[in-house]
Structure 1
Amino acid sequence: ATWVKGMRTNKDKMIKAVLPDCTADTEGVINFVNKTIQTKTKTYTTAQYCSRIAGIIAGTPMTISCTYAPLPEVIGCDVWTKEEMDTMAGAGKLFFFFDGEKVKLARGINSLVTTVQDKGTSFQKIKLVDLMDMMHDDIRTTAQDNYLGKYANSYANRCLLVTAIQGYLDQLAQEGLLEQDQNTAYIDVESTKIWLESNGKYTKAELADMSEMDIKLANIGSNVFIAVKASLLDAMEDVTVTIHI
């Protein structure tokens, strides 16, 4: 778990791991907790079955979640009450259960339970973290392979990268991964202002008098500040039906 956290935080590698009964409190670790796992031919430990859970997660299309994914080979598993299962889900535990007809995964969540301002409840969902990680890797690869070191750092060329990222967001929306018409890539004016002030290019008063375009056109060395607003589509999981008679 420590290695996974380090790879995501320090190495910029968006890896994830399924670990047995591990309260890691991070979006990079899925905490699998079933103790009783019986198939027709064998009984497994929690650790032994982590690879099966990882396979389910990895094999789930990005447009849906692993919530309620069936495990047809399992004929015996732990039995909990609804209240116990709700408590386990709230504690960031992934497990499967028997619903009266079949064994299936409960809510597709990772081990993150401590949310903060820039890492809210969306980071607790396996599906959404997979999507965020994919976007991170794809945008980084595009920048590294096609832009870094290959263009002068002018405003016009920065806009080329913004346009490429916007096209990528539009493609994800077409694939049903992002909400239509709610995703934007743009020059990050606020981050640009912070850099200009902290590097002594302009004072805070001078920046306040500058137009947004003046800030976008400023010489910022080799730095490129781009922001993205994206509306990630979750899977349909919480359904409330109100019947009026």
Structure 2
Amino acid sequence: MAGGNWSTTEGQVLPGLYMNFEAAAASAIQPGSRGTVVIPVKANWGPVREFVEIGSEAAIREVFTSGDMGGATAFTSLYLALLGGPKKLLAYRLADSTAAPASLTLQDGKAEVLKLEAKYPGSRANQFKVTVQPSLGDSSVKELKLYENTTLLYTFGIGTGQVDAVVDALNQHPSNKWVTAVKLAESQSPLANVTDTAFTGGVSGISGVKNSDYIEAQNALETREFDVLSLDGVTDTALLQSFAAWLKRVRKEGKKAIAVFGGAAADDKAADAASKAAARSALFNHEGIVNVGTGVVFGGTEYSSAQTAAYVAGLIAGQKLNESTTYSAAPFEDVTRRWTRSEQEVAVKNGVFLLVHDGRQVKALRGVNSLIVPGTGQNSAWKKIRTIRVLDAINADLQRSAEETYIGKVNNTAEGRLALIGACKEYLRQLASSGVIESTGFNVELDPDYYGPSAAHKPEPDQVYLHWDAKLSDVMEQLFGTFYVQ
């Protein structure tokens, strides 16, 4: 999908819809709903370097295990993201070169004839145990029971126990999510009986994961459709800068994603936490990057702002076009440090997304991104997460519609351009009816800089230039009143 920004000095090569969003005097195009979150994670089980959709806490336990032992981050990051309520959550497991699956070799009484290997690398499978024994109902056939510690995962009927029958029984069973059977040698004898024989050799590949592994994941992320990105609690400045630079590039090229980052637990609770968080925002200073400044307490456990970023990513992705994160209630018991009024003001002015405890509950303070100094063509509206979500949603919707209905399909004639303009106006009408933009004053027309007797430029035969106008709508965030006492 080609798209992104355009300029008169840079010719575009690929067909596509190229959109610039700029602030007009007191108006701008507004908000959008973006539903998919993606998080690179480390885990003791599960597919490596693959995108896996996670829809529930149970799914996290099934795909990646229920705990974050040995440096794993999958459960915490994904669970916090789910608390935010995204429409879709994708996990991408990272592992170093030492990652290996656990395995177990079984004999027929004379030689090793079958190897059972865990389906995924990781230490979880070191807890797997196998029992091979005659069936209680029929001693002429055998069963292979697979346990995780003392929990029975599944009982496989393996017939008389010959190696070929076992391979078929395990590898072709639709409920087998744990092991793969590999024949090592021909044998006409049944498998020898064993009891609680353990798998060994499983390595999770977590300790050696480096910044380069995260940076390599950027290539995979670039080929995947998602709307909000977070990391699994990492706080290394160089890595965050790398992701910030990557995000700025792909956004310019048309991949309108938002990233959510945070800081270390020690910074969250430091006396100068406000200035540390503000410095992090200054490092990013971009409308597509959200910087979380506070950690949270949930279930008696403290989570850093870098970990809490996963929750904020889920919160952003789960909202509708006409909603805002400002004052959104959070499920946490407390924050790891309660900021003073003056510190909160510093945060909002310096692009820090805060979660605060108002004496009754934890909630988001104001839905701001890390943009501190608006760039060319931007104004203060670009500092709002809601604004960027809408611009991104409009860009994505129009890009998809243009590719499916107009690009390469409609003649670039007066009639064709009128049809395109009519479809664009109808789209804006739908946004207006949802309260995303103001219901009056929006318009789409041919750009007068390119059409008409006074046009400064002449479009090529396959080019169409449109001029859009829409007035920003927003939620009420500041209410002012004067109470007159008689």
TM-score (norm 2): 0.44
Residue 71 of structure 1, CA deviation: 1.7
Q: Measure, in 2, the Cα distance between the counterparts of 1:107 and 1:126.
A: 9
Measured against aligned partners, the alpha-carbon deviations of 1:127-185 in whole angstroms (never above 9, x if no partner) come to: 11111111111112111211111122112211110110000000111111111122101
CA distance in 2, matches of 1:151, 1:75: 56
Check whether the contact 1:159–1:187 (CA below 8 A) recurs between aligned residues.
no
User: Residue in 2 aligned with 1:194?
Assistant: 456
Between structures 1 and 2, the one with greater strand share? 2
1:88 aligns with 2:347: yes
Q: 1:33 aligns with which of 293, 307, 312?
A: 293
Alpha-carbon displacement from aligned partner over 1:42-74 (angstroms, at most 9, x marks no partner): 111222111111111112222120111112323
Q: Which residue of 2 aligns with 1:6?
A: 249
**What secondary structure does 2:306 align onto?**
coil
Alpha-carbon distance between aligned partners in 1 of 2:333 and 2:321, rounded to the nearest angstrom: 25
Is 1:120–2:379 an aligned residue pair?
Answer: yes
Change (3 A) 1:76 1:150: closer
**Any unmatched runs of 5+ in structure 1?**
197-218
- Show CA shifts across 1:182-229 (max 9, x none): 210111011442322xxxxxxxxxxxxxxxxxxxxxx74111010110
Name the Cα RMSD after superposition.
1.5
Give the 3-state SS of the residue equivalent to 2:307 in structure 1.
coil
Equivalence for 1:104? 363
* In the alignment, structure 1 residue 242 sits paired with structure 2 residue 486: no
Q: CA deviation at 1:117?
A: 4.4
Determine the structure 2 residue equivalent to 1:155.
414
Contact 1:77 1:98 in 2 (8 A): no
Instruction: Identify which of structures 1 and 2 has the higher relative contact order when contacts are C-alpha pairs closer than 8 Å and 6+ apart.
Output: 2
Paired residue for 1:205?
A: none
Q: Radius of gyration: which is bigger?
A: 2
The match for 2:396 among 137, 151, 161 is 137
How big is the shift at 1:244? 2.6
Give the distance between the partners of 2:316 and 2:444, measured in 1 at CA: 29
Is the Cα–Cα contact under 8 Å of residues 30 and 94 in structure 1 kept in the other structure?
Answer: yes
Counterpart selection for 1:17 from 254, 259, 273? 259
**Match for 1:73: what amino acid?**
F
1:230 equivalent in structure 2:
470
Report the residue type matching 1:31 in the other structure.
Answer: N
Q: Distance in 1 between matches of 2:313 and 2:449?
A: 40
Asked if the contact 2:335/2:356 (under 8 Å) is kept, the reply is no
In structure 2, stretches of 5+ residues that fail to align are: 1-243, 264-279
Q: Name the counterpart of 1:173.
A: 432
TM-score normalised over the length of structure 1 = 0.85
SS at match of 2:344: helix
